[in-house]
């Protein structure tokens, strides 16, 4: 596990500030009738205008700036002109950037117009899973505490967590050790140390935990066709507690 210095964390804070600004900009454009390809163009143009570079484009051949995952798509939905958002959809917008050799990574799932009460509750619970996991990102806690916080809250609400995809360490690479599972046992796993940065990303399904990947090799969907939500922050472990990078504090 690579530990970052204060000045490296400052660069990662900047990278993640661009991620968060991008996500806020996209939220303002989100409405029924917009395509996910249009959101992707807006994101790429915005990121480049900030002097950063999209991190996902070209990563293992991924073709776009964003992952746009609609309804039953869990993660890694590829933006498309044919994917036009409709009232009642939920869409995960996942964005990564590189600044001065350091990565930022973050995601939100947003409602398009009015959504069903069930969809709304899924978004709320998944956001809370991330908040609870962040609270565990402290020196002396263990990785299993972070993972267990996600699982406990999601399953306590009657939802399930995805096992095939995980959060990750982040720094000079998009994916560093350790893997941050969305399920786990408190008090187990490596101890968290100051300078560690984790991209924590709960993926919570309304129904069962099963996953199926489309023939495109990317688009990961729920097996049962029910909804899935996904939120992600890059979080630094510091002596002062969890530092959610890019949130302007």
Residue with tokens 């009460």: 117
Residue from the set 46, 56, 183, 231 that interacts with ligand MF3 by CB under 6 A? 56
Residue 72 CB partners (closer than 8 Å, separation 6+): 221, 222, 225, 226, 227, 228
Find residue 198's DSSP bridge partners.
169, 235
Residue from the set 15, 93, 199, 211 that interacts with Co ion by CB under 5 A? 199
What gap in Å lies between CA 178 and CA 163, rounded to an integer? 15
Window 98-127: contact mask with ligand MF3 (x via CB under 6 A): -------x-x--------------------
Q: Of 76 and 142, which CB lies nearer to ligand MF3 in the complex structure?
A: 76
What are the backbone dihedrals phi and psi of residue 94, each rounded to the nearest 5 degrees, phi first?
-115, 130
What gap in Å lies between CA 127 and CA 8, rounded to an integer? 27
Residue 241 CB partners (closer than 8 Å, separation 6+): 138
Helix (H) or strand (E) holding 173: none
Look at residue 76 and give the partner it binds from ligand MF3, Co ion, none, a contact being a CB closer than 5 to 8 Å depending on partner kind. Answer: ligand MF3
Structure tokens at 195: 């300078």
Look at residue 67 and give the partner it binds from ligand MF3, Co ion, none, a contact being a CB closer than 5 to 8 Å depending on partner kind. Answer: ligand MF3
Window 163-192: contact mask with ligand MF3 (x via CB under 6 A): -----x-----x------------------
- Give me the sign of the Cα torsion angle 230, 231, 237, 241: negative
Window 105-144: contact mask with Co ion (x via CB under 5 A): x---------------------------------------
Least distance (Å) between residue 60 CB and ligand MF3: 6
Stretches 26-34, 77-85, 145-153, 197-205: which one binds Co ion (CB under 5 A)?
197-205
Residues forming contacts to Co ion in the complex (CB under 5 A) are 105, 199
């Amino acid at each position: 596990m690579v530990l970052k210095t204060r000045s490296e964390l400052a660069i990662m804070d900047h990278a993640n500030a661009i991620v968060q600004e991008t996500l806020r900009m996209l939220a303002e454009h989100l409405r029924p009738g917009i395509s996910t390809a249009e959101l992707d163009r807006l994101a790429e143009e915005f990121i480049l205008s900030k002097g950063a570079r999209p991190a996902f484009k070209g990563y293992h051949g991924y073709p776009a700036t964003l992952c746009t995952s609609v309804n039953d798509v869990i993660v890694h939905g590829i933006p498309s002109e044919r994917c036009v958002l409709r009232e009642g959809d939920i869409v995960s917008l996942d964005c990564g950037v590189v600044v001065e050799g350091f990565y930022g990574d973050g995601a939100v799932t947003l409602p398009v117009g009015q959504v069903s009460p069930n969809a709304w509750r899924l978004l709320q619970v998944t956001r809370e899973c991330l908040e609870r996991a962040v609270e565990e990102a402290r020196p002396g806690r263990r990785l299993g505490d972070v993972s267990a916080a996600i699982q406990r809250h999601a399953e306590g609400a009657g939802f399930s967590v995805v096992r095939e995809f995980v959060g990750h360490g982040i720094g000079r690479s998009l994916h560093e050790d350790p893997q941050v599972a969305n399920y786990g046992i408190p008090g187990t796993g490596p101890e968290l140390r100051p300078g560690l940065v984790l991209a924590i990303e709960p993926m919570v399904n309304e129904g069962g935990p099963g996953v199926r990947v489309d023939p495109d090799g990317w688009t990961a969907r729920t097996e049962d066709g029910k909804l899935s939500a996904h939120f992600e922050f890059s979080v630094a472990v510091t002596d002062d507690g969890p530092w959610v990078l890019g949130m302007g504090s």
